[in-house]
Chain A
Amino acid sequence: MIEARNLDKKYGNDTHAVRSISFTLDKKITSIIGQNGAGKTTLLRILSTQLLPTSGTASINGYDIIKDAARIREIAVSIPQESRPIYWFSPTILIMLYLGARGMGLRESRRAADKAIKKVGLWDSRDKMAAELSGGMKRKIFVAMALASDADIIFLDEPTTGLDPLSRIQIWSAIRSMKGQVIITTHYMEEAQALSDDVLMMNKGRVLSQGSVKELLKPFEGMVRVESKMRRRRSHKVGDTWISYVKKGKAESFVMEGDIIKSITLDDLFIKEGVNLES
Chain B
Amino acid sequence: MNHNYIVMYIYASLKSISVNWMYIVSNLMFPVSLMIVVGILSQGKLLPFALVGGLISITAMSGVNSIAYLASLRFDFLYRDLVVTTKTTKMDYMFAHLLGEFVWVVPSIAFYFILDVIYGLLTPYTFLMTLLLACMVSISSYSIAFWITSRIKHTRNAWPIGTVLSLLLITVSPTFYPYTYLPKYILDILTILPTTPAVVLAQGIFGLTPSLPIQWYMLPILFVETAAYLLIAVYTTQWVEK
B45 to chain A, nearest CB (A): 42
CB pair B5 A101 closer than 8 Å: yes
CA separation between A106 and B10, bound complex, in Å?
11
Q: B15 at interface (Cβ–Cβ under 8 A)?
A: yes
- Chain B residues with a Cβ closer than 8 Å to the other chain, count: 28
CB pair A109 B8 closer than 8 Å: yes
Mark A223-257 against chain B: 1 for CB-CB distance below 8 A, else 0.
00000000000000000000000000000000000
Also in contact, A102 and B86, with CB within 8 A (given A82-B78, A88-B20, A89-B16):
yes
A46 to chain B, nearest CB (A): 10
Q: B84 at interface (Cβ–Cβ under 8 A)?
A: yes
B79 to chain A, nearest CB (A): 6
Q: A78 at interface (Cβ–Cβ under 8 A)?
A: yes
CB pair B16 A103 closer than 8 Å: no
Residue of B4, B7, B19, B83 near A129 (CB, 8 A) is: B19
CB pair B84 A50 closer than 8 Å: yes
Mark B223-242 against chain A: 1 for CB-CB distance below 8 A, else 0.
00000000000000000111
Q: A1 at interface (Cβ–Cβ under 8 A)?
A: no
Q: B12 at interface (Cβ–Cβ under 8 A)?
A: yes
CA separation between A84 and B79, bound complex, in Å?
7
Residue of A48, A82, A83, A88 near B19 (CB, 8 A) is: A88
Residue of A50, A84, A96 near B85 (CB, 8 A) is: A50
**How many pairs of A and B residues are in contact by the CB < 8 Å rule?**
97
Also in contact, A86 and B81, with CB within 8 A (given A93-B15, A104-B4):
no
With both beta carbons as reference points, the residue of chain B lying nearest to A105 in the complex is identified as B4
Residue of B12, B84, B88 near A96 (CB, 8 A) is: B12
CB pair A48 B20 closer than 8 Å: no
Residue of A49, A100, A145 near B8 (CB, 8 A) is: A100
CB pair B83 A106 closer than 8 Å: no
Residue of A97, A99, A105 near B9 (CB, 8 A) is: A97
CA separation between A105 and B4, bound complex, in Å?
6
Residue of B4, B16, B84, B88 near A88 (CB, 8 A) is: B16
Also in contact, A50 and B16, with CB within 8 A (given A77-B85, A98-B86):
no
Q: B121 at interface (Cβ–Cβ under 8 A)?
A: no
Of the candidates A80, A97, A99, the one having the most CB atoms from chain B within 10 angstroms of its own CB is A97
Mark B1-40 against chain A: 1 for CB-CB distance below 8 A, else 0.
0101101110110011001100000000000000000000
CB pair B82 A79 closer than 8 Å: yes
CA separation between A127 and B83, bound complex, in Å?
22
Q: Which of A104-144 contact B (CB under 8 A)?
A: 104-106, 109, 129
CA separation between A101 and B90, bound complex, in Å?
11
Residue of B2, B15, B20, B78 near A101 (CB, 8 A) is: B2
Q: Which of A44-77 contact B (CB under 8 A)?
A: 45, 48-52, 69-70, 73-74, 76-77
Give every chain B residue within 8 A of A109 (Cβ-Cβ).
Answer: 4, 8
Q: B184 at interface (Cβ–Cβ under 8 A)?
A: no
B90 to chain A, nearest CB (A): 12
Q: B77 at interface (Cβ–Cβ under 8 A)?
A: yes
CA separation between A80 and B78, bound complex, in Å?
8
A279 to chain B, nearest CB (A): 23
Q: B188 at interface (Cβ–Cβ under 8 A)?
A: no
A51 to chain B, nearest CB (A): 5
With both beta carbons as reference points, the residue of chain B lying nearest to A93 in the complex is identified as B12
A14 to chain B, nearest CB (A): 16
Give every chain A residue within 8 A of B88 (Cβ-Cβ).
Answer: 101-102
Also in contact, A80 and B19, with CB within 8 A (given A73-B87, A93-B12):
no
| Residue positions of A touching B, CB distance < 8 A | 45, 48-52, 69-70, 73-74, 76-80, 82-86, 88-90, 93, 96-106, 109, 129, 145
| Residue positions of B touching A, CB distance < 8 A | 2, 4-5, 7-9, 11-12, 15-16, 19-20, 73, 76-79, 81-88, 240-242
Can you add 5 more A-B contacts, CB < 8 Å, to A85-B77, A101-B88? A50-B241, A73-B87, A76-B85, A78-B85, A89-B15
